[in-house]
Amino acid sequence: MRSFQYARPETLEELLALLHEHGPAAKLLAGGTDLMVRLRSGQSLPRVVIDLKRVKALRAEIVETDAGLRIGARTVMAGLIEDRRVRRHFSALVEAAGAVGSVQIRNRATLAGNICNASPAADTAPALLVYGAIANLVELGGRRSVPLADFFLGPGRTVLNRGEIVESIDVPFASEPSGAAFGRITRRRGVDVAGVNLCCLVKASGQTLFACGAVGPRPFLAPDLESLIAQASPISDLRSGSDYRLAMLAVLGRRCLAAAVSRLQLAMTAVEATCNR
Amino acid sequence: MQPLSVAVTLTVNGQTHALEVLPHHTLLETLRDGLGLTGTKECCGEGECGACTVLVNGRAINSCLMLAAEADGETIVTIEGLCEHTPTGGQAPLGRASLAGPIDNRPPVGNRPHIGPGPLSRLDPLQTAFLEKGAAQCGFCIPGMIMAARYLLMGNPHPTVTEIQDGLAGNLCRCGGYSRIIESVAAAAEAET
Amino acid sequence: MIGQSAIRAGGLERVTGAQKYTADLRLERPLDVKLVKLDCARARIHSIDTHAARRVEGVRHVLTAAGIGFPVPRYGPAYADRPVLAEGETKFFGEPVAAVAAESKEAAEAAAAMVQVEYEELPAVLTIEAALDPASPLVQDPELRPGDRYAGTNILNEWRFGWGALESGAGLVIENEYTFPMVTHFAIEPHAFLAAPDPNGVTVWSPVQHPYVLQRVVAAALGWPVSKVRVISPDPGGGFGGKGWPKFEPLMALLALETGRPVRLVLTLEETFQAARRASARIHVSTGFESSGRIAFQDIHADFLLGAYADIGARVVSKASYAACGPYRTPHARIVARALFSHTTPSTAFRGFGTPQASWAVESQLDEAARSLGIDRLEIRRLNLPSKGEAFVPGDTPADGDWAQALHKAAEAIEWGTPLPKHRGRGIALGLKSSATASVSFALVRLHHDGSASVMSGTSDMGQGARTVFTQIAAQELGIPEARVTIVMGDTAVTPFDSSTSASRSTVFMGNAIMRACQDIKAQIRQLAAEVFVVPADSVVVSDGAVLLPDGQASYAEVLNAYYGSARGEAMAVGSCRSKYVAEHPLGGNPAFWELMCVAAEVEVDEETGHVQVRKLVLASDVGKAINPRHVEMQDEGAAIMGLGHTLMEHLILDSHGRIANLGALDYRIPTIQDIPAAMQSVLIENGDGPGPYGAKGAGEGGVLAISAAIGSAVREAAGVAIRDLPLTPERVWRAIQERQPKPQQGELTYG
């Protein structure tokens, strides 16, 4: 591995100043599960690696607010999966986080890192999209919030400015009962990068939301499967052919919809049971 | 322009080490080359094979994907320290050997065939089970496999077969000993209760 | 002891992390080596400038072909065709053009990056079609094989085997072409090499399966006597053939001698992909059948794509094609097999040694015939199987097992013939591999003065459990507890000669050698006892570890101590086992035994996605005698899981520059613990009819031989698609299903 300098700021201000100072020569290190691979292969050759894990203002915890859950920048996939509230409100996000790598990877990989890498195949992105997640960004000059639907620009590209980072991710509670399901297509059953991934959300009102990844330059959202498929522009690469990806998008869409509907029914039964009590 | 080395303090298998590491050195390199703990293995170098699995603050991680600098101040357990330094349901010694001290080089006794007097130290129930069920073939993946299995049992003392598979999905065994590995983890879980 | 599943010798070290693999060894003040490689397969090297690299702090040596001097030493187990560093032209992606030795890994890596190579990429031969195209460039310089009739082509060699007359009539002729992908060994231990000068010459450490081949090849490359090269071979962390034959050891020996220092090189996993692979193959088969289902003829044309250097590839092709007709009576046969050069990773031995490729084609043909003739797929195999003792390759080792038994046991375990739900299917196939021919093992057994024993063996224990099995054999033969036997392996300075750890030969050959040495020792003990206790030798019986005398009994220790007194001393014997070299035999001799396995599989196919799930796998192997049943079962299961890899997911993908596109674990997918069959069952057929100790035959490769055909057949039954190209990836199965079904009209898809 090529050498670099290692910085470990403890305050947000220090971190943002460092990022601003080094610009593209700096790489931000959270869980490292993507960055370390790129450092080893030489795809990424930063002058300085800035470890954000000791920045106290960036949280590893998930905080509940009136509107939803706020997931800190240092929250790892395992943290999401193990969190009772995430499991109750955002089961498809738990499914998606559970699909990321192995146990060892999920103990290190952060949700924020997963979206900041902006891989078209990022497994958590479709779930965050259907749940209407919002990324809270911070830079030296201030803060802003960006809906996840507007966050991704293309492979490895996001709306983040130079010196700007994701401070937390808000996932709002649903206003009505809903059911959601995540699915993916891989080359083997065990740990694999998704050839296609998809998340479907169905609300009691009958409204649906679909989001998918690996079938275009960025993960995206659509109100129904037809328009999702219409928006897809998959490429052929060594993982999948574009026609296969497109066909699998339809298969996953149908399967996830069916799973989401049955989960919605369960949720509604649960609501009824509560009301009748 | 050699970057400055970073001073780190690692607690590895109960022992605290103050080390100077280069910023780009992985925890894996530091364990193997710096501390001589070669039980942790390197294969893919990108977190796909699990051969380098260790516990950092009680969590299983791939030590090839962690900088040594990141591990500053952390508590690490490797295969060499597994038995003494991880919470288990009980440190079961080899069933057929009477173990008086930490090291026992006496040939084992009893009816079960056991070959070769080796460095019989106290074993984690997982190590005993892997040995008795014959889960190790070439053995290169086994330290990482056992560390991942230990992490699984720490959080889930009675895993189902599917849960064992999920817990060990990040550990490749090219000898294809997976079915014995599943049996061994199940047996260790049983032995710990 | 024999027939019991003794715990693995070395098992404790493996579960505690104490086992020392090559990369775990620490030599004093070693130099780290980094190889310099180009970013394409084939390139003309105009110049290599090492000045900047030499100036990097800590660099001790930068070696290039020019620095070695011409001619650059060439090496190889069969043909000395591979230069220690590329000379003038690189011939495959990953071939080193220079090597840097430095005081640290960092310095070696930094310097390697600063070696300036001016080169021009040249068109590369990457496929079988290209290799056979007369317009393609030649991979091998014709000057390397003067007088060779194929020197002007990319054919390394061609073999023709056969008997009978193909013109004989057949009611049904099935003709198809099958392909088998390039796959790589992916041992979890990447190759590692150390070398150091020593007072006698040079010592090389390598996790090599055949230390004596390595010794011979390194000595030849250096132009030295074999006695000046010592090979230390720590237990490999997985071999599978990929660590059989020399890789970078000759280069490392040179670097050690030129620097006067120990040198070490640990490959990355990516570099192991560039160091060893299985030959891909295209096999065209025409099989004639009588209406009864009996085979009338087999006409097999196989092209195997080797890499840029021969390695052991020629042997792979000749040996696999020789027995390509499988375990069947074939009245008329023609087998034409070619080994082709290409600008790719040199292919080498890989578990099954060419047979998985041939078996995929030949076994699939039987299924196709069974369907055409309306015969059960089990039945068509049964009626073509030779009986035990029947010659099936004319003039060669006859069928040496009750092979129908394996077929029937596997069928029974998979519940052959019972109904299955939709989208499920079963398949069954046989795999047969020729075992070692013309090879020899020596074992030195020492019975120490205290009655314990040491066995010196040149076998490598790469996970198959050779050390355990040898312990069991020595303990059994000497009548002493297994705990009192020590097996010493892995050092040519200590262990006597052994041909190789390959071809499932060690239990038979080394096992017999150990057994014979133990018998010799018992005979010596009788003589010593007779002499020292003054009794007739024929009145002394050595049994179960005790020396029975006319008027009492003594232990080994008592006999040795009575004989040697305070001098101590010991009894020592060399045993050997050889299969005869036959000059006129195409393989150099008759196979010592046949390795046979029947695989039966039940699969479920997801028709929408093409995913194949193996629900049950049965492995029935004809092993003669399982000295350690658990070890045999683990080898069988492990081989089958490895075979699942090339059947369902593994293939090296090359880009247009001849680079491996899926270089590394991220995109070269091998089976994980989540990919194994939901149920697996091993059946060991033990009739004591093998040539090894207690009637054992070799085992450990069977599982990889026939699994592709069994699964392919099951997929066909489940989904109605015949696929003749491996691997059966979800996408490939899906495409076949799409072609099977009429495509839906535009807009016909309904969602939800």
User: pLDDT tens digits, residue range C461-508?
Assistant: 999 999 999 999 999 999 999 999 999 999 999 999 999 999 999 999
Which pLDDT score, from 0 to 100, does residue A15 have? 97
Neighbours of chain C (3+ CB pairs under 8 A): A, B
Contacts of C752 in chain A (CB under 8 A): 225, 254, 257-258
Residue range C142-148: average pLDDT?
95
A237-246, B29-38, B95-104, C713-722 — which is least confidently predicted? B95-104
Which pLDDT score, from 0 to 100, does residue B99 have? 27
How far is it, in rounded angstroms, from Cα B171 to Cα A195? 21
Angle at C533 between CA C529 and CA C535, to 5 degrees: 85
C21: pLDDT confidence band, cut at 50, 70 and 90?
A: very high
How far is it, in rounded angstroms, from Cα B150 to Cα A76? 20
Contacts of C584 (CB under 8 A, 6+ apart): none
Interface test with A, best of C39, C268, C271, C609 (most A CBs within 10 A): C609
Contacts of B189 (CB under 8 A, 6+ apart): B153, B157, B158, B159
Interface test with B, best of C2, C7, C15, C455 (most B CBs within 10 A): C15
Give the percent of chain B with pLDDT over 90. 76
Please give the helix or strand (H or E) that residue C304 lies within, else none.
Answer: strand C295-305
Which pLDDT score, from 0 to 100, does residue B2 have? 56
Other CB atoms within 10 Å distance of the CB of residue C213: 21
How far is it, in rounded angstroms, from Cα C84 to Cα A170? 59
Q: Both tokens of residue C543? A: 């049994």
A136 pLDDT exceeds 80? yes
| Contact between residue C249 and residue C196 where contact means Cβ atoms under 8 Å apart | no
Which pLDDT score, from 0 to 100, does residue A185 have? 96
| Contact between residue B116 and residue C9 where contact means Cβ atoms under 8 Å apart | yes
Q: Check A8 against B69: CB less than 8 A apart.
A: yes
CB < 8 Å from B in window 111-170 of A: none
Which pLDDT score, from 0 to 100, does residue C69 have? 84
Beta partners for residue C455, in sequence order: C445, C487
C583: pLDDT confidence band, cut at 50, 70 and 90?
A: very high
Which pLDDT score, from 0 to 100, does residue B115 have? 40
B100 pLDDT exceeds 50? no
C-alpha to C-alpha distances, A209 to A178, A183, A222, nearest whole angstrom: 11, 14, 6
C623 pLDDT exceeds 50? yes
Q: Check A254 against C752: CB less than 8 A apart.
A: yes
Coil, strand or helix: which one is A37? helix
Q: Tell me, what DSSP letter sits at residue A160?
A: P
Q: Check A108 against B62: CB less than 8 A apart.
A: yes
Which pLDDT score, from 0 to 100, does residue A274 have? 73
CB < 8 Å from C in window 39-98 of B: 39-46, 48-49, 51, 78-80
What is the average pLDDT score of chain C?
A: 96
B85-99, C68-82, C525-539, C673-687 — which is least confidently predicted? B85-99
How far is it, in rounded angstroms, from Cα C747 to Cα C752? 14
More confident residue, B106 or C293: C293
Q: Check C675 against A188: CB less than 8 A apart.
A: yes
A253 pLDDT exceeds 90? yes
C238 lies within 8 A of chain B by CB: yes
Beta partners for residue A212, in sequence order: A198, A220
Beta partners for residue C442, in sequence order: C576
Q: Check C237 against B138: CB less than 8 A apart.
A: yes
Per-residue pLDDT tens for C318-367? 999 999 999 999 999 999 999 999 999 999 999 999 999 999 999 999 99
Contacts of C163 (CB under 8 A, 6+ apart): C332, C333, C394
Q: Check C673 against B168: CB less than 8 A apart.
A: yes
Which pLDDT score, from 0 to 100, does residue C167 have? 73
Angle at B76 between CA B140 and CA A55, to 5 degrees: 125
Contacts of A5 in chain B (CB under 8 A): 3-4, 23
Give the percent of chain C with pLDDT over 90. 97
Interface contacts (B, C; CB < 8 Å): 200
Residue range B165-189: average pLDDT?
98
B105: pLDDT confidence band, cut at 50, 70 and 90?
A: very low
Contacts of A191 (CB under 8 A, 6+ apart): A101, A102, A105, B48, B169, B170, C672, C674
How far is it, in rounded angstroms, from Cα C207 to Cα C204? 10
Coil, strand or helix: which one is B112? coil
Residue range C634-650: average pLDDT?
98
C-alpha to C-alpha distances, A188 to A194, B169, C724, nearest whole angstrom: 10, 11, 20
A271: pLDDT confidence band, cut at 50, 70 and 90?
A: confident
Is ipTM strictly over 0.85? yes
C748: pLDDT confidence band, cut at 50, 70 and 90?
A: very low
Q: Check A238 against C662: CB less than 8 A apart.
A: yes
Which pLDDT score, from 0 to 100, does residue B122 have? 79
Contacts of B183 in chain C (CB under 8 A): none
B109 pLDDT exceeds 70? no
Of C12, C17, C186, the CB nearest to B39: C17
Which pLDDT score, from 0 to 100, does residue C471 have? 98
Which pLDDT score, from 0 to 100, does residue C70 have? 78
Catalytic residue numbers of C? 701
B92 pLDDT exceeds 80? no
Angle at C522 between CA C521 and CA C524, to 5 degrees: 65
| Contact between residue C511 and residue C692 where contact means Cβ atoms under 8 Å apart | yes
Residue with tokens 């795999």: C431
Interface test with B, best of A103, A107, A188, A191 (most B CBs within 10 A): A103
Write out C458-512 in H/E/C secondary structure: CCCCCCCCHHHHHHHHHHHHHCCCHHHEEEEECECCCCCCECCCCCCCHHHHHHH
A190 pLDDT exceeds 50? yes
Pairing of strands C172-180, C280-289: antiparallel
Per-residue pLDDT tens for B44-79? 999 999 999 999 999 999 999 999 999 999 999 999
pTM of the prediction? 0.95
Contacts of B100 (CB under 8 A, 6+ apart): none
CB < 8 Å from A in window 609-668 of C: 609, 613, 648-649, 653, 661-662, 666-667
Rg of chain B in Å (alpha carbons) = 17
Sheet containing C541-543: give its strands across.
Answer: C541-543, C546-549, C552-555
More confident residue, C325 or C747: C325
Contacts of B128 (CB under 8 A, 6+ apart): B92, B93, B94, B95, B188, B191
More confident residue, A34 or C750: A34
CB < 8 Å from B in window 17-36 of C: 17-21, 23-24, 26
Which pLDDT score, from 0 to 100, does residue A246 have? 97
C450 pLDDT exceeds 80? yes
| Contact between residue A75 and residue A111 where contact means Cβ atoms under 8 Å apart | yes
Which pLDDT score, from 0 to 100, does residue B3 have? 63
- Exposure pattern of C84-118 as b/e (b: 16+ CB <10 Å)? bbbbebbbbbbbbbbbbbbbebbbbbbbbebbebe
Which pLDDT score, from 0 to 100, does residue A276 have? 67
B83 closest CA partner among B181, B156, B192, B183: B192
A272: pLDDT confidence band, cut at 50, 70 and 90?
A: confident
Q: Check A3 against B65: CB less than 8 A apart.
A: no
Residue with tokens 């179960």: C544
Residue with tokens 């390394």: C156
C-alpha to C-alpha distances, C750 to A185, A196, A224, A259, C621, nearest whole angstrom: 20, 19, 12, 17, 49
Which pLDDT score, from 0 to 100, does residue C741 have? 65
What is the average pLDDT score of chain A?
A: 96
Nearest CA in chain B to C453: B116
Counted residue by residue, chain C has a size of: 752
B90 pLDDT exceeds 80? no
Which pLDDT score, from 0 to 100, does residue B87 have? 56
